[in-house]
Structure 1
C-alpha cells in the first residue's frame, strides 16, 4: 500500500493518463447558460403547471450539466415545497434494490409512529400500504443516480398511483440503456446509438404515463456512460493513489459502506479504530481524517448534527467503483462473491452470511469479517461456535443485521460491547456494532 503511486506499473496508470487528460480537455462544458435557464423554467412549468396526470421526468448527464445538483435545486425550491403535499429524495444504490427504495419512500412520507410497524411487514404488503397512503396526495419523488436496472419502471408503476392531481417523479439516470425500451413521440424506438433531438425536454412514449427526458446532449446515448464515467473513475483513482498512507487505507476501507448507503460517522470511526488505522485510538484524529476525505471528494455528507459536525455520510457509486479497483489490485479486501479468491485477510459479505458460516473455509488467517447483507439472517449457535474456533486470528467482526439467539459460550471469544471507545486490548478481539447486531439473550 505504501508503495502505490499514480505511476505504479501494475496498474497501467501511465497508459491511461494521456487518454484521461485528452478526454477532460475535449469534454469541456459547452452548456449555454441562457438555454439552461429557459429549460429550468420549462421543467418548473411541467412540475407545477403541467397537466394533471402523473408525469415522470428522466434527467441525463451532459457536458457541463450536473444532474444531481440540478435535481437538488428543483427539489429545494420554495415553489415545489409549497405545491406538493409529499416530497421524497431517495439516493439509489449502485446495487439496485427496490426493497430499500420502497423503505426509504415509506420513511420519508409516513408518520414515524407508523413507519416502525410498516417496515417489518411483508414486501408486497408494504407496496400496497404505500400505494394506499399516496392515493389522493400530490407527491414529488426524486430518485437520484439510477444506474442499470430496467425493472425500476415496473416497480414504480406498482406503488405510485396516478391521482390525476399533478404528482411528479424526477429520476437522474447514469446509464441511458434504461431508456432503450421506450419510444419517441414519432414511434421511433430509442436505441443505445440514438441521438435525442427536439429540445431539452423531450416527450416520449411509455405505457400511458406522461414521460419526458431532460437532455442537453447531441451525442449517441451509448457515449454518455463512457464520457462521464471514464474520466470520473480514473480521476478518483489518481487522487486516491496520491493520498498519504494514513488516508489511503482509511479511504479504501470505505468499501465497507454499500455505495450510496448512509453510515454513521460513529460506526465508521469505530471500524477505523478497530482495524488499527487511527493512532492512539483518537476520535479527534478519526474526525480529522474524515474531514480530509470529505474535502478531497471521497466522502459525501448526508446529515449533520445541530452543532455542525457530520452525523452520517455515504460514498457515491463512481467513488465506490474506483475504490474497488484499487482494493482488488492490493488484495486489501475480498468479497464472498468474487470469482477469484484472493488471499485478502479482510472479507466483506454483501449477500449470503449463513452460507459463508456453513462453508468449509480455508481463510485460516482471516483478520476482519464485515457483514453488510441487508437481510436479518438468523445465525445458528453451532455454526457460530465453529466459526469462532476456526478463525483464531480474527480481530474485527461486524455482524451487521444478523441475529444471534445467544452468544457462543465459554472462553472461545471475548466480546467487547463498550461503544464509547473503540479500544482493542487482547489477542483475540471481536467488535460488534450493537445498534444492528441483535441478541435475544
Structure 2
C-alpha cells in the first residue's frame, strides 16, 4: 500500500540528511505540517537541536495579508521554531528527494486563540471554558477556520492536504501538567463534558426546541454518578443523559460539524488546482471529538477524496482497527482513500515491530493506504522497524 509519513518542517530544515532518510523508509509521500498547534517535540537526529518548543498554535508559512488584514481572528505566525516559509523550505527538500508533499492542517485546536479571545471557546455545562477548543458553531470562528483551511492547505507545490481537528474539540486534550485523570471518564461522560453552552450553541439548542438552561442542568445531573464513582464507565450516552437530550444534542452537533466539514472542503477545492487531493482525519463515530473529528461517513465521503483513520497497533489493537476501518470501507468508492494511521513511535504507545502484520490486517479491512506517525519523532530503532515493514510489504 502507498504510505506517507508525518513530518514537521523543523525535522527537515537545517538537517541535510533528513529528506533522504525519510525517503529511505519506503514512503511515497510526506504529510508536512503547515498549520499546527502548540507542542514540544523531540528531534533525535537533528544536527543543531534536540527539543523544539512550539509555544503556540501557528502557521508555518507567511500568511496572505490581503486575506487577513483587519480581521480580529487570524492565524498566528510561528516564532523561531519555524521562521519564514518553514513549510516551503522543507517541502522543497522533500520533493528533491523524490517525495510527494501534502499539507497537514490543524484547524479547531488553538490554545492561544482561546486565551486571547476567550469568547470563542467551548463552554461546558458548568460554565468552564476550554481555551484549546474553538467553538465551531460560532460564525466568527467558522469564518476563520474556512479561510485558514483554504490558505494552509493549498501551499505552493503541495499535491494534496490532510485536514485535522475539523470538527468539535472537547475535554479530552492533554494540557501542560495535566491533572484531570482522577475520575475515569468513559465515552459518554467525555461527550457530556464536551457539550458546549456558549451563546451560539445555546441558541442552537433553543432552535431545536430545548431550554438551554434545562439542558445544562440535566447534563450536570447526569454527571453526578460519574463524579461519585457510581456510573458504569462503559454506559452509552443515552444511559446517562436520556433519549431526548441525546438525540437533540447529537442533532445539533452533527449538523454543525457536518456543515463546517463540507464548507471547509469546498473552500480548499476552490483554492486548489484540479486533481488536488483532500483528505480528512476522522473517526466514523459522529459524536467523537478531537483531532480525529467524528463524521457521518456517508456524508463526508461525498465531499472528500478519503479519510485518515486512527488505528491501534499490535494484536490487542485488532478490534480497534476494525471499529474505525470497516464502517468507512463499507461506504468507500473504488477511488476512495482509506488510510490507516499507525503510530510508529514506541515511546508514544506505537508498535512499529508489528507494522507489517497490522498493515496486512488493515488491508483486509479495506484500508488502501498507510500513514506513519511520526518520522521526525521516532527513534532510530523505530524507524528501522518501520522501514523493514514497508520494504517487506
Fold-level match, TM-score > 0.5? no
TM-score relative to the length of structure 1: 0.25
Q: Which has the higher contact order (CA 8 A, sep 6+)?
A: 2
